[in-house]
Structure 1
Amino acid sequence: MFAKFARIGAVAVTATLATVTASTAQDFQPENPQCIAPSNPGGGWDFICRTTARYLFDLGVIEDSMQVTNMSGGGGGVAFAHVSKERNEDNNLIVAASMSTSARIAQGIYEGAVQDDVHFLATFGAEYGAIAVRADSEFETLTQMMDAILADPRSVGIAGGSSVGSFDHIKPMLVAREAGLDDVTKMKYVSFDGGGEAMTGLLSGSVEALSGDFSEMLGFLESGDIRIIGIMAPERLESFPDIPTAREQGYDVVGANWRGLYMPAGASDEAKEFWSNAIQTMAEDPGFQATLEEAAIAPFNNFGDDMHDFVAGSIADIEKLSREIGIIE
């Protein structure tokens, strides 16, 4: 099962770019383009939109600068409903997406939502999850934290930048199950609207730990505000060899979060093809790749039919995993 969980994100990191086909998309050019980040500023979705807006404009792919709008609420559900119900035919809109997006669809958190309510455009990166504590935390290792959770599952508050049942929630549950906790739903998970707010919760002392993506933690790690006690990578990261993996501490959990974009399902075919090609152009740019590398995000590319099939598989895998863990019946 853990191998399947890893496949949701990390195993496909070696996927190659899809071939761009000739199209009438060259006749389409968005007007007043917008990217919605379904969270408050800070965190992964915000990073997706701001980085995309910057590179599409700098590369000349779009003629107008892109507006970035933060629309938090419901773990991305407010933005999903806004796009699918109020702006279904908007050709100028793209929205940040990730593993958490497919997880919420799989678990029914976006009420009544299905994959085809929106048009999934592409993935362009994936990153490993991690668990962090404050620099002055009593927990020096992941094992120490898991021992405390085994003794009292409610004694350790774990923040995440997304809702209950999300990828941020699932990650520590998987570790705790590996540690021997029979009912992982008893763990204390504290949901925040975005990775930035979750980090604030950790640093303020309202929680003891943070579950998130490594890129969201990197700046605070480098500033000395936090320590990462476990990263969910198969082996230690080459650029950060001092950070131990969960696996080497006895918890065979590997998981990565994909990063990508979707747009309204009712947009024109020309607009859909334009945005797919635009994102592929961005993904191929060396400067963009360097930005991902600096954020500890590995290349992970899916476009067109490959993207549709990838999301469908991700939703099916997460639904199965969620039933095994007990998040859904």
Structure 2
Amino acid sequence: MKIAALKYCVAGLLLASSAALADVTAPECIAPAKPGGGFDLTCRVAQTGLAAQFDKPIQVTFMPGGIGAVAFSQFNTTRTDDPNAIVAFSSGSLLNIATGKFGEFTENDVRFLATVGADFGAVVVRADSNFETLDDLMAVFKENPAEVVVGAGGSVGSQDWMKGALLLKSVESSPRDMRYVSFEGGGEALAALLGGSIDMVTADVGEVITHLEAGNIRVLAVLSPERLDAPFDQIPTAIEQGYDVEWTIMRGFYMGNNVPDADYQTWADAFAKAYETEEFRKIREEKGLLPLNLSGAELDTKVKQRIGELRQIARDAGLIK
């Protein structure tokens, strides 16, 4: 009787495990905005890049509201254990979480799943700037930050502002002392730089390619963990120049906090497999993203650490209490 009972118990556990894995039967990607934006792009990469990993195609659903706040709230209330759904996020989402713009819920109330690609920050000056190296710029930031007029496509507290704040913090200057000019977008900021009304721009690598090719600008550093591939392989990182500044513009997904481990891992494994395929690499390149392959617990840990860092910077700058 004991042996029979044990057999039934083992069989039950196997069935439960299979059922947990089988729960991912209607894969869905939530783009927390209207069609056509960055979240839509993120879901399309997953939809195409993971097509071979599931029996059914991934459905893209749009859930606009609060630049991600509505979706974040829903996956912290009514859909915390949904095994089928993944929700697109960006580095902007992480900043919103850090500064409390997503309400009472924090990074610990979801599970970050996987990335589809990234862009990286860049420190940009005119080609004829007196700042010939990052050291030249940082020396001024250390002694008198207000001498440098920094411009970018975003308001105080935005991603681009954060890049500048990190640069100042790396030389023990206060982000409050940054002389910052906000523009509607990166293109307008770069135009102001070329026109001479500002001294530098905290930009993204992807948005400065044409100006770099034209010889109009000088990129003092990329804010990536390691040097990028060509055509950016000749540009040093801030880290290798001695400044602990990194800004990855990450695109990826999270899931509800109560999703069973087996289902979370099914999705994480699907992304890990997709990263090795030509189909995934092709769609990522078509969407203008650079490689960033992180999934599962590694990504979850990394993202939650980053949000903690952003929260502290915002607090130091007086943006939050």
TM-score under structure 1 length normalisation: 0.64
Question: Structure 2 CA distance, aligned partners of 1:39 and 1:188?
Answer: 34
Tell me the equivalent position of 2:42: 48
Question: Structure 2 CA distance, aligned partners of 1:47 and 1:286?
Answer: 18
Q: AA paired with 1:35?
A: I
Question: Is 1:34 aligned with 2:34?
Answer: no
The answer on whether the counterparts of 1:131 and 1:231 sit within 8 Å (CA) in structure 2 is yes
Please tell me the root mean square deviation across aligned C-alpha atoms, in Å. 4.6
Secondary structure (helix, strand or coil) at the match of 1:284 reads coil
Question: Is 1:25 aligned with 2:1?
Answer: no
Larger radius of gyration, structure 1 or 2? 2
Across the two proteins, how many residue pairs are aligned to each other? 297
Secondary structure (helix, strand or coil) at the match of 2:295 reads strand
- How big is the shift at 1:186? 3.7
Tell me the equivalent position of 2:185: 198
Tell me the equivalent position of 2:57: 64
Tell me the equivalent position of 1:7: none
Question: Is 1:288 aligned with 2:280?
Answer: yes
Question: Structure 2 CA distance, aligned partners of 1:137 and 1:37?
Answer: 40
Q: AA paired with 1:198?
A: G
Question: What is the 5 A alignment of 1:242-261?
Answer: 242-246=234-238, 252-257=243-248, 258-261=250-253
Bigger relative CO (Cα 8 Å, ≥ 6 apart): 1
Cα separation, partners in 2 of 1:307 and 1:140, compared to 1, 3 Å = closer
Question: What is the 5 A alignment of 1:230-269?
Answer: 230-233=221-224, 236-239=227-230, 240-246=232-238, 252-257=243-248, 258-265=250-257
Question: Structure 1 CA distance, aligned partners of 2:60 and 2:243?
Answer: 41
| 1:223-262 C-alpha deviation (Å, 9 max, x unpaired) | 77865342124665452244344357x6613314244211
Q: Structure 2: which 5+ runs fail to align?
A: 1-16
Question: What is the 5 A alignment of 1:34-113?
Answer: 34-36=29-31, 41=36, 45=39, 47-57=41-51, 59=52, 61=54, 63-64=56-57, 66-67=59-60, 69=62, 71=64, 73=66, 76-77=68-69, 79-81=71-73, 83-84=75-76, 92-113=84-105
- How big is the shift at 1:103? 3.9
Q: Identity over the aligned pairs, expressed in percent?
A: 32
| 1:206-225 C-alpha deviation (Å, 9 max, x unpaired) | 98554344345446655778
Cα separation, partners in 2 of 1:244 and 1:86, compared to 1, 3 Å = same
Question: Structure 2 CA distance, aligned partners of 1:139 and 1:322?
Answer: 27
Cα separation, partners in 2 of 1:222 and 1:51, compared to 1, 3 Å = farther
Of 295, 306, 312, 1:314 maps to: 306
Moved more, 90-99 or 108-117: 90-99
Q: AA paired with 1:96?
A: A
Q: AA paired with 2:29?
A: Q
Tell me the equivalent position of 1:10: none
Tell me the equivalent position of 1:120: 112
Q: Structure 1: which 5+ runs fail to align?
A: 1-20
